[in-house]
């Protein structure tokens, strides 16, 4: 049983570009959340998707958007990249009816030059 998988593992972009990160949830999970982890910090919540809709959103600008597909996989899009967007982006999956377990993928390391 595969866990949460993310792609790509590493990515280098330049300021102003756009990026798309991908996530496949753990088998049986229907809810996907995205987090940003800057160097030396704890992860910060970006948003959560369930039933293909954004259900909750953290304190991130509209440049950050997402999508969830019918197979529960998800994408995170960031437009007009800034140097400060350089971070590890983590995807987490869970089941709406679960007892609270939330599993994370290994992340995508984004570097903006």
- State in angstroms the smallest separation of the CB of 16 from other proteins: 28
- State in angstroms the smallest separation of the CB of 68 from other proteins: 13
The alpha-carbon radius of gyration of the chain (Å, integer) is 13
- State in angstroms the smallest separation of the CB of 57 from other proteins: 9
Binding site for other proteins (CB under 8 A): 4, 6, 31, 33, 35, 40-45, 48, 50, 55-56, 58, 90, 92, 94, 96, 99-107
Q: Which is nearer to other proteins, 71 or 99 (CB)?
A: 99
Q: Which is nearer to other proteins, 42 or 70 (CB)?
A: 42
With vertex at residue 56, the alpha carbon angle to CA 82 and CA 12, rounded to the nearest 5 degrees, is: 25
For residue 89, give the nearest of 49, 41, 43 by alpha carbon. 43
DSSP 55-83: EEE-S--TTEEEEE-TTS-EEEEE-S--G
Q: Which is nearer to other proteins, 27 or 56 (CB)?
A: 56
Residue 7 CB contacts under 8 Å (≥ 6 apart), including other chains: 21, 22, 108
Q: Which is nearer to other proteins, 15 or 55 (CB)?
A: 55
């Amino acid at each position: 049983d595969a866990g949460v998988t993310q792609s790509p593992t590493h990515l280098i972009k330049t300021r102003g570009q756009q990026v798309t990160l991908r996530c496949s949830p753990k088998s049986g999970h229907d809810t996907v959340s995205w987090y940003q982890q800057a160097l030396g910090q704890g992860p910060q919540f970006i948003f959560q998707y369930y039933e293909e809709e954004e259900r909750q959103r953290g304190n991130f600008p509209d440049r950050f958007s997402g999508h969830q597909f019918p197979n529960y996989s998800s994408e995170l899009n960031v437009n007009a990249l800034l140097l400060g967007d350089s971070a590890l982006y983590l995807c987490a999956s869970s089941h709406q009816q679960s007892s609270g377990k939330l599993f994370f993928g290994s992340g995508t390391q984004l570097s903006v030059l």
